Amino acid sequence: MKKIVLTLALALLALTGFSQAKKPTIMVVPSDVWCNMNGYMVEFDNQGAWEKLPDYNAALQSDPDLLLAISKLGEMMAERGFPLKDLGACLRQLRNDAAEMSVTMASDGSDVAESPVDKLKNVAKADIWMQLTYKVNEAGPKRSLTFNLQGIDAYSSKQIAAASGTGTPSFSVELPVLIEESILSNIDNFNNQLQNHFDDMFANGREVALTLRKWNSSPVDFETEFGGDELSFQIEDWMANHTVNGRFSTQDVSENRMIFEQVRIPLYAPNGRAIDTRTWANDLRKELQDKYNIDAKLSMKGLGQAVITIGAK
């Protein structure tokens, strides 16, 4: 009897352990608008066109009010069970990794393999970005703070939560106090919307995007016939069978590419393990290989967009 109870308990434990979805990582960043307003931008020559990018390092090293806002948000999110990824620590980690990579060498003198694409992808990542903007308004001797906090889902690039508003004008309140007040007044509404987003995700799956394209050298394209139908329709059938309630929208189809958006992938595989976009898209890559004998390369753009290129690895 004891053995049966023990076995049951262990089975239940394993099941609950597997049925935990991956907890999203959240990071606070100052918005591009805030960086631009406060002069924390770097300009660079992008093949002849000058472009501006936010300089997070400079902002974090020079602005104590920004640091206060980030740490206050971090404190309040940790209280709700979501300790935030720290932007400053992530940027330091990336710099250290780059320095280490440049001096790492094998005993035969060869260095670590890193493609230009790998280098491009060396950026701070999070599942949800909390994009922060604030601005002090002055009307005579009175000051108020306009505050805007946007939660952006890195998978779908959609705004999933937001809290914004302008505080009550005041004569003598210092900026850090205004920032703290704005965060305290707005964070619960922000978290309510975040909760709705999580509820939707648990009910309807995670929203991601999938792009399929072909190498120029590929002998097959998406209009090639397999088993009486074009490859594009075969892929759409696979999508319908492997998304939550068959939910996805086909944005564009041609002989060279297929673009799917608002693809709702399940949070768990049939064996109960949590899955992410790459794991899910890899099933399609394997299907193309096994069923149609098509080699394909799977790559990721950010966390929520998978790209499968058919014709070669």
Partner 1 sequence: MKKRILILLLALAPALAFGQAGKVKQANRDTQTWRYEIEPVTVGLQGTVVIRVWSFSRNPVIAGEQAKKNAVHGVMFKGIPTLERMPGKKPLVTPEEEVNSGQFLGQFFADGGDYMRYVSLTNSAGGEEVLKVGKEYKVGVVVAVSYNELRSYLESKAVIRSLDSGF
Cβ 175 to partner 1, closest distance in Å?
15
Residues that bind partner 1 (CB under 8 A): 20-24, 76, 79-82, 144, 163, 165-168, 180-181, 184-186, 188-189, 191-192, 194-195, 198, 202
The total number of residues written for the chain in this structure: 313
Q: How far is the CB of 30 from partner 1 (least distance, A)?
A: 22
In this complex, which beta carbon is closest to partner 1, that of residue 192 or of residue 254? 192
Asked if 26 and 83 count as a contact pair (C-beta separation under 8 A), the reply is: no
In the bound state with partner 1, the residue whose beta carbon lies nearer, of 192 and 289, is 192
Which one, 21 or 300, has the nearer CB to partner 1?
21
Q: How far is CA 128 from the centre of its chain?
A: 6
Residue partners of 198: CB distance under 8 A and separation at least 6: none
Least Å from the CB of residue 77 to partner 1: 9
Least distance in angstroms from the C-beta of 129 to partner 1 = 17
Q: Give the whole-angstrom CA distance, residue 73 versus residue 99.
A: 31
CB of 194 to partner 1, least distance (A): 7
Task: Choose between 7 and 192: whose C-beta lies nearer to partner 1.
Answer: 192
Answer positive or negative: Cα dihedral of 251, 257, 258, 259. negative
